[in-house]
Structure 1
Amino acid sequence: MKKNDGNITIIRYVCMLVFFVFFGFRGYLDTDFVVYYPIYEATPTLSDTQGVLKFFSGLNEDYLLKVEPGFKVFAILLKSISEDYFFLQIVSSLIDVIFLNYFFKKYSPQYALGFIMFLIFSGLIIEFNLLRNSKAIFIFIYSLQFIKDRNPVKYFICNGIGLLFHSSAIFYFPLYFFLHKKFAPQLVWGAFILGNVLYLGQIKFITPMVVAIGDFFGGVYSLMAEAYSKDSLYSTGYGITMGYIEKFFTFILFYYSYNKVGEKIKDEKTLNIFFNLFFIFTVTYLFLSEYAVLIDRMTTLFVMSYWILYPYIYTLLERMFKLIFAFILFLFGTYKMINSNNNIIRKYENILWDKPTITRAYYIINKHLDKVLSPKK
């Protein structure tokens, strides 16, 4: 038994080390550095009192007004230790992997598989391009225990801290009141069927509401609503894609296995929490299909259900079916990694053995900006 425990411990350390080296020491990947590099450059150190006051007031640059105060404090503390932008990425990834280690140790029946699911399902975009959002997401993950224990004070304190890093954490606040409860099957399947009808029929119901609200307030709000509704970058849905097919069959698989997964988890509230997160994830994807940008932003907030439920599905399978599952996962994961990262701005560099430069990074993203911002097909 000790040998097994030792092997598991080694696996955990290896997973954490690989994660930390791969993400923490990455170069200038994707588009987030365009936002965070100038922010970190403008960040003062603790010794610069006047600079700190200006930093929080946003007098330096208008874009600083959009950065939440918690992240500003985080940036100031790190800048006071090191002025190198890569230090921000290193510490950020270290924090993330510590949260993931806690999460998978506590909830996943297959620790390493949990990390694999993280990478396949939104993990890359979370680490590469959601530096602030990721903190709100991981703090929410930590707070799930307080939903189960029915401890509102600790839950809202945690997500209040998350809100200081990214405003999207506001969507986690109402979850305390119902996430631990079992949703009625009629609600689950009814919403799933309706969502598919709206998605496949490309029936627009959000756009009229957005336009109506914009017209009601008038002025700049009306212009913004009209612009977002007509701009294909924001308002184009995905249609029938590999992602849709995966989500359709995953939904059926998960809910078909609900009772069997419950026998493995052996705690009704924990079972409900992850299935309800998955339900919200799927419904959000289907109902918000007319706004591609909303699909990306909103579903990522609830994707952690995949990281836990798929490993549980794996444990339910017989040996032969586990091999089939692993083969399908390998094919799908390979397809998704290639499809998602077949872009010059995702060309991986690591500061331990490469020499990435900010000048070259800006040149690449400016040259390929149109392709980066083009709607997904």
Structure 2
Amino acid sequence: MSIYLTTIFITLFISIVTDFVINISKEKKNIIRGIGLMIASIPPVLLGGLRYFVGTDYSTYVQFQFPLVLSKQDSSFKVVGPLTQGIIFLGSKLEALLGSLGSVQYQWIFFLLNMVLVGFIFGGIYKLCEKITLPLLFFYISYFFFLSFNLMRQGVAVSIFFFALCYLLNGDWKKYFFWCLIAMGFHTSAIIYFPLYFMRYLKNVKALGLLVPIVGYIVAIPIGKVIGNIVSTVIDNYSAYTAIDYAQWNARSDMIVTYITLLIYYYMFKQGTNRQAFIYWTQVLTTFFPFVGSGLPQTTRLTFEFMLLLMISVPEIYRVKRFKKGFRLLIIFILICLYSFYTYWQIANGRAGLLPYHAVFTF
């Protein structure tokens, strides 16, 4: 656990210094912010790129997906998307040219994929956030980054969506849909982001959104059984996926944390801006998925698709001027404590296979 805490503290130290310098040199804030983000990206790139058999899917990649792609047995992209395959081939070329990282086969591929993931997220922060400390804190404590050690290809797709979020908020649908297509090149689950564009037209925060997850919880099991019976006749390994979700559902931590967040957003963003209304409705969607997790497959993956939005949604609370500054800071502090405990609990209890951490090099 200490390696994760150390990485977080180093990143936050860099971001705090960057924000401090921005405050005294506002005319050069874009340059300072860009440099600060590049330096701050180094710790997570190294942490994720140099891990060795950390994350439950690590063995799946090195024993199945990477060899499958490199032997050109997945030319139709049924298992691995085309852009991910491009990274795999590039990593293989680097290994042949520069040698193995820590004498570990395929490690260049992990390094490159993690660098792409972190790069798009930090690029999104540059586009969307004036200050970087709070977004970078939630980059870690949203649990997204650590869960990406397990769902690596999907994590890259999510990071590209986050990068494209500025185009969604600005109504530039051409650029937004373009980047969604790029994200699909890494993982087909990114298709869910196309209809999300139209949520920007929901301009009012309504209490009805609070009921959506609850209704989903009530109807999930009966509807899930029907869907399961239909899908199981088409997909042979359907039962394996549902078994995974049921095992994760037992803790229900995702359900509790996301609903508390939804309640806070409803209270804070009522009578707010269009951006705040979008944040609220995406949180309704984020909360809906764990609530239906007892009856529908792969909801953990779907929740993962949107957890990264905490990087912009929590700082947005500070912009709600109708509340006193002290109250806004208190709400943000509560969310920091909530998600810090949530992420610590997930890692400590073995979710996603993050402990113990091993690196390809011994530092």
8 Å contact 2:57–2:150 — kept in the other structure? yes
Counterpart CA distance in 2 for 1:213 and 1:102 is 41
Counterpart CA distance in 1 for 2:231 and 2:283 is 31
Counterpart CA distance in 2 for 1:127 and 1:244 is 19
Change in Cα spacing, 1:77 to 1:333, as seen in structure 2 (3 Å) is same
Which residue does the alignment assign to 2:66? 40
Task: Specify every segment of 5 or more residues in structure 2 that has no aligned partner in the other structure, as ranges.
Answer: 1-22, 101-105
One of 95, 104, 110 as aligned partner of 1:82: 95
Q: CA deviation at 1:118?
A: 1.8
Which residue does the alignment assign to 2:16? none
Which residue does the alignment assign to 2:349? 342
Matching of residue 22 in structure 1 with residue 39 in structure 2: no
8 Å contact 2:162–2:309 — kept in the other structure? no
Counterpart CA distance in 2 for 1:189 and 1:327 is 22
8 Å contact 1:214–1:221 — kept in the other structure? yes
Change in Cα spacing, 1:65 to 1:87, as seen in structure 2 (3 Å) is same
| 3-state SS of 1:195 partner | helix
Matching of residue 254 in structure 1 with residue 259 in structure 2: no
8 Å contact 1:314–1:322 — kept in the other structure? yes
Which residue does the alignment assign to 1:193? 211
Counterpart CA distance in 1 for 2:185 and 2:85 is 9
8 Å contact 1:143–1:154 — kept in the other structure? yes
Q: What is the letter of the counterpart of residue 227 of structure 2? A: V
Cα deviation digits, residues 282-327 of structure 1 (max 9, x gap): 2223234423x52211111122221211122256563586368547
Size of the aligned set, in residue pairs, is 324
One of 112, 119, 122 as aligned partner of 1:98: 119
8 Å contact 1:68–1:167 — kept in the other structure? yes
8 Å contact 2:269–2:277 — kept in the other structure? no
Q: CA deviation at 1:114?
A: 0.9
Change in Cα spacing, 1:284 to 1:184, as seen in structure 2 (3 Å) is farther
8 Å contact 2:48–2:114 — kept in the other structure? yes
TM-score relative to the length of structure 1 = 0.72
| 3-state SS of 1:129 partner | coil
8 Å contact 1:181–1:272 — kept in the other structure? no
Which residue does the alignment assign to 1:309? 313
| 3-state SS of 2:221 partner | coil
Which residue does the alignment assign to 1:142? 163
8 Å contact 1:285–1:299 — kept in the other structure? yes
One of 171, 181, 185 as aligned partner of 2:201: 181
Q: CA deviation at 1:112?
A: 1.7
Counterpart CA distance in 2 for 1:76 and 1:181 is 41
Which residue does the alignment assign to 2:221? 204
Percent identical across equivalent pairs?
20
Counterpart CA distance in 2 for 1:56 and 1:320 is 54
Q: What is the letter of the counterpart of residue 254 of structure 1? A: Y
1:156-235 aligned at under 5 Å gives the runs 156-176=177-197, 178-182=198-202, 185=205, 188-199=206-217, 204-211=221-228, 213-214=230-231, 220-221=233-234, 227=239, 232-235=243-246
- Comparing 240-249 with 106-115, which one deviates more in the overlay? 240-249
8 Å contact 2:168–2:200 — kept in the other structure? yes
Q: CA deviation at 1:352?
A: 3.8
Change in Cα spacing, 1:253 to 1:340, as seen in structure 2 (3 Å) is same
8 Å contact 1:40–1:79 — kept in the other structure? no
Q: What is the letter of the counterpart of residue 264 of structure 2? A: L
| 3-state SS of 1:82 partner | helix
Which residue does the alignment assign to 2:17? none
Change in Cα spacing, 1:277 to 1:194, as seen in structure 2 (3 Å) is closer
Q: CA deviation at 1:328?
A: 6.4
Cα deviation digits, residues 10-65 of structure 1 (max 9, x gap): 65344222222222222220122212213334554xxxxxx5xx34437xxxxx74
Counterpart CA distance in 1 for 2:302 and 2:280 is 17
Q: CA deviation at 1:253?
A: 0.9
One of 311, 319, 322 as aligned partner of 2:329: 322
